[in-house]
Amino acid sequence: MTRHERLTALLGLLAEQERIEVDDAATALGVSPATIRRDLDHLAQQQLLVRTHGGAIAGNVAYDLPLRYKTARRAEEKQRIAEVAAGLVGPGAVLGMNGGTTTTEVARALAVRSDAAAGGAGEVTVVTNALNIAADLTVRPHIKVVVTGGVARHQSYELIGPLVGRVLDELTLDMVFLGVDGLHSRHGASAHHEGEASINRLMAGHARQVVVVADSSKLDKRAFARICHVHEMHTLVTDSGAPDDVVERFEEQGVRVLRA
């Protein structure tokens, strides 16, 4: 296990338990207590947790971790979801994408597919408020990238604020891919940060089709700020771990569910 993977695992444990002890974490991760202490000190310096005697407790930020610490979580599921989602895109489509690890994987899958289809009919356009997605796609000659304005949020690399809306108001999207922090069959899609949720809601409102990409750990969960209601969604792409009863609740409300 690399240090990055260890740090991600520690933050994941904190998100689930709110408190961890050094000895318990060392046993769970198969490393020495001294290593765990150094890792916890490092994370505390970045204000991602609060150190205690013998361990750590979750700070407020632990529920909305920086993107660099989320990339290793459920990576295989997200890649499968991305392959299925990219397959929904037709030639010449205009797409919206918000930030997040799953939408980043969708962008990468789309880039590979577009390169493989070089010389085919129609350039795909991606409109995004995510700086990392824009950077990944800019080097792909068969994808046109449109970046919204706004103020960058360091945890997600997303641009937020009123400037984003000024750009989106001038555009029409064929499809938007939304990554979410929670997706509930009654309360809809939601995000930890209200500014991100507001921009995601704007994107959804300018799209003919709203596709939510979320691994099964996000299902039946609610986050702080709503993005959209279930009846505003057209498709959910999730992984094979999604429970049948949860999938049925979405399908009963007219959402097409694809399990990767």
| pLDDT confidence of residue 112 | 86
Kindly list the structural domains of the chain, giving each domain's residue range(s) and its CATH number in brackets, ordered by start: 3-63 (1.10.10.10), 75-259 (3.40.50.1360)
pLDDT value at position 116?
Answer: 47
Quote the pTM value.
Answer: 0.77
pLDDT the model gives residue 144: 94
CB 100 within 8 A of CB 66: no
DSSP 8-state class, residue 101: H
**Per-residue model confidence (pLDDT) at position 16:** 67
Q: How high is the pLDDT of residue 61?
A: 45
Task: Give the dihedral of Cα atoms 167, 200, 107, 88; nearest 10 deg.
Answer: -100
pLDDT tens for the 260 residues of the chain, in order? 888 778 878 887 886 677 899 999 999 999 999 999 999 999 888 777 889 999 998 765 434 555 555 555 678 999 999 999 999 999 999 999 999 889 999 999 999 875 545 445 568 999 999 999 999 999 888 899 999 999 998 778 899 999 999 999 999 999 999 999 999 999 999 998 899 999 999 999 999 999 999 999 899 998 889 999 999 999 999 999 999 999 999 999 999 999 99
- At 138 the three-state DSSP class reads helix
For residue 18, the model assigns a pLDDT of 72
Sheet bearing 55-58, strands edge to edge: 19-21, 55-58, 49-52
